Amino acid sequence: MKIITFKLTIFFLIVCNDGLSQNSNQVQINKTGDNSKVIIVQNGDYKAYNISNPKEFNALINEISKLSKNFKTLFDSIIINQNKQYKEVVKRQKRIENTQVKTNEKLNDLPKKILDILFTDSSLSILKLESNIKELENNKRKLEGELLVYRNENPSFKFILDSANFKLKYYDFEGYHKVMESYIQTSISNAANGCFWRAKTYQTYYYYADALTQMERASLFDTANIQYFLECASLAAKIRDSSKQFYYYNKVLANSSIDPFQKVEVLQALGRLYIYSDLNKSHGYLKEAENTLLFNISKDTTRTIVCLILLKNSLGELSLRMGKTSKAIEEFKFSIGISNIIVSYKDNILTAITYRDIGLAYNSINQFDSCIFYLEKALEIFNKHGLANNYDAISRIENQIGLVHLSRGSIVIALDYLTKAAQNFETYINNNHPDAGIIQANLGFAYLNANNKQDAKTALKKAKEILTKYYSIEKLTLEKVKEKLIELEK
């Protein structure tokens, strides 16, 4: 019974978007906006069923069974309802005879798949069905966002976009892409602009790898646009691809139209990258950035301040890697001093990053009280700027605070911070990031310290699932997780 419950839950989230009215019984079936409940309205009375609760979902199925001879009748009525909408759109576009058959096939395809599972011994597994439906919904969400930015940026192409939207409405992704690709190819500028906005759309939904692919296309169409290269480098950092970061930062440096402050930003970014592989190169890039900034300091006060804060942070991190902790803290506090003098920077994200770095510096010399003090200050500023916009930075700081408390034996406090950090990655990007796996692993280890083996096993299994996708960059953590899981199974 649990399998059927899961299948039907997925189905209702998809087909009940606009509600279903059965006039013969004066019945309406709707879902709430957050997809958590299905509501049945009959003769003015209504009942709400929580579809994540197995008992309530079984009661919902029984109620629907009373209202309809069987599920197939209900699904057929949904298809008929959607066909009516389809015919109206096609009639307005004067293409009903040419598109009716093909569109009907696509329109009916998804409900048919689900009916196969519910009423036959289909070989299609429930996991495959779940995967297919999630993929359809994710694709539709991404493409709807893409369509929105095209509409906002290019109102003159309304007819093309209406055509694309019509195809998207009925899950015709192939047709949608053909329409949009034909638009993109109308000119080079459209191509670059189109790819740029696709990248922005994917980035909104945290699909950083897809965003990078589109931004790279944009940079190929417009090789003179430094902004595209900087965006590519930034997205490469999101997925920890250092080789692409080096590649695009060097393309910016090679571009003749680069301004001095862009040069400083790129030089300090390269210096920061080399901190983890070549300390001498790192020092060279950061010193060149410092000299460039001093030479152009009078040209733009605001940008000078931003560059100086970034540069001091990078020099502090370099000193930390070289074992010069006191020097690192000195650089970081110099950066904080600049921020505190200028009111607009006092609670700036850059200031939060600097507080975080000071906290990590104190952590490296086991001054845990100072470490927690500065990490909490960083957390306070990031939270002021909104969790949704800074969930990743907030989660990493919460993870670090949790680990410090864990090392001091304050397990309850540690679990609180680590749990919040893990929930943020799960909520905002569905754990599609290696750091999500690391935090789940830390949470699992903390539960082990608390002798809570059941919750430890749950967290470590999640960590294993996530880190397996990122084996090439997190193999040591993954191996440690696997070892602990083996021990727990004994």
- Distance between CA atoms of 39 and 48, rounded to whole angstroms? 4
Please identify, among 366, 401, 433, the residue that sits at the C-terminal boundary of a domain: 366
Q: What is the pLDDT of residues 19-31, one digit of tens each?
A: 333 333 445 555 5
The whole-chain average pLDDT of the chain stands at 75
Shared domain for 332 and 296, answered yes or no, is yes
Asked if 352 contacts 378 with a C-beta cutoff of 8 angstroms, the reply is yes
Looking at the domain assignment, is residue 233 inside a domain? no
Residue showing tokens 């942070």: 313
Shared domain for 342 and 406, answered yes or no, is no
Q: What count of other Cβ atoms lies within 10 Å of the Cβ of residue 152?
A: 9
pLDDT band, residue 320 (cuts 50/70/90): very high
Q: What is the pLDDT of residues 177-203, one digit of tens each?
A: 666 665 555 555 666 777 787 788 778
Helical ranges in 120-187 per DSSP H: 126-153, 158-169, 173-184
Which tokens in the block code for residue 75?
């699904």
Per-residue b or e along 181-194, where b marks 16 or more CB atoms closer than 10 Å to that residue's CB: eebbeeeeeebbbb
Looking at the domain assignment, is residue 84 inside a domain? yes
Looking at the domain assignment, is residue 130 inside a domain? no
Q: Among 12-26, 247-261, 439-453, whose mean pLDDT is lowest?
A: 12-26
Asked if 73 contacts 115 with a C-beta cutoff of 8 angstroms, the reply is no
Q: What does the pLDDT read at residue 57?
A: 65
Shared domain for 327 and 397, answered yes or no, is no
Res 34 pLDDT > 60: no
Asked if 268 contacts 237 with a C-beta cutoff of 8 angstroms, the reply is no
Domain that holds residue 114: 2-123
In which order are the strands placed within the sheet that holds 45-50? 20-22, 27-31, 37-42, 45-50
pLDDT band, residue 381 (cuts 50/70/90): very high
Q: In this structure, which long-range contacts are made by residues 52-55, counting pairs with CB atoms below 8 Å and at least 24 apart in sequence?
A: 52/9, 54/1, 54/2, 54/5
Shared domain for 6 and 72, answered yes or no, is yes
For the chain, how many structural domains are there in total?
3
Beta partners for residue 30, in sequence order: 39
Please identify, among 92, 123, 154, the residue that sits at the C-terminal boundary of a domain: 123
Please identify, among 69, 102, 123, the residue that sits at the C-terminal boundary of a domain: 123
pLDDT band, residue 231 (cuts 50/70/90): very high
Q: What is the pLDDT of residues 469-490, one digit of tens each?
A: 887 778 899 999 999 999 998 7
Which tokens in the block code for residue 324?
């010069």
Closest CA to 434 of 379, 388, 476: 476
Element housing 27 (H / E): strand 27-31
Looking at the domain assignment, is residue 375 inside a domain? no
Shared domain for 350 and 394, answered yes or no, is no
Looking at the domain assignment, is residue 187 inside a domain? no
Shared domain for 275 and 330, answered yes or no, is yes
Which of residues 283 and 81 earns the better pLDDT score?
Answer: 283
For residue 350, give the CATH number of its domain: 1.25.40
Looking at the domain assignment, is residue 9 inside a domain? yes
Element housing 42 (H / E): strand 37-42
Could you give the percent of the chain with pLDDT greater than 90?
A: 38
Shared domain for 459 and 393, answered yes or no, is yes
> What contacts 425, CB < 8 A, 6 or more positions away?
391, 392, 395, 431, 433, 435, 436, 439
Number of Cα atoms under 13 Å in the Cβ half of residue 225: 17
Res 72 pLDDT > 70: no
Q: What does the pLDDT read at residue 223?
A: 78
Shared domain for 349 and 416, answered yes or no, is no
Looking at the domain assignment, is residue 94 inside a domain? yes
Shared domain for 338 and 272, answered yes or no, is yes
Could you give the percent of the chain with pLDDT greater than 70?
A: 61
Q: What count of other Cβ atoms lies within 10 Å of the Cβ of residue 170?
A: 21
- Distance between CA atoms of 480 and 474, rounded to whole angstroms? 10
For residue 390, give the CATH number of its domain: 1.25.40.10
Whether this model's pTM surpasses 0.75: no
Looking at the domain assignment, is residue 381 inside a domain? no
Residues 398-422: what's their mean pLDDT? 95
SS3 70: coil
Q: What is the pLDDT of residues 98-140, one digit of tens each?
A: 444 454 454 445 444 444 444 343 344 444 445 555 566 566 6
Shared domain for 357 and 439, answered yes or no, is no
Res 251 pLDDT > 60: yes
Q: What is the pLDDT of residues 149-184, one digit of tens each?
A: 555 555 455 555 555 565 555 556 666 666 666 555
Shared domain for 430 and 348, answered yes or no, is no
SS3 367: coil
Asked if 67 contacts 25 with a C-beta cutoff of 8 angstroms, the reply is yes
Residue showing tokens 């996991």: 127
- Distance between CA atoms of 31 and 14, rounded to whole angstroms? 10
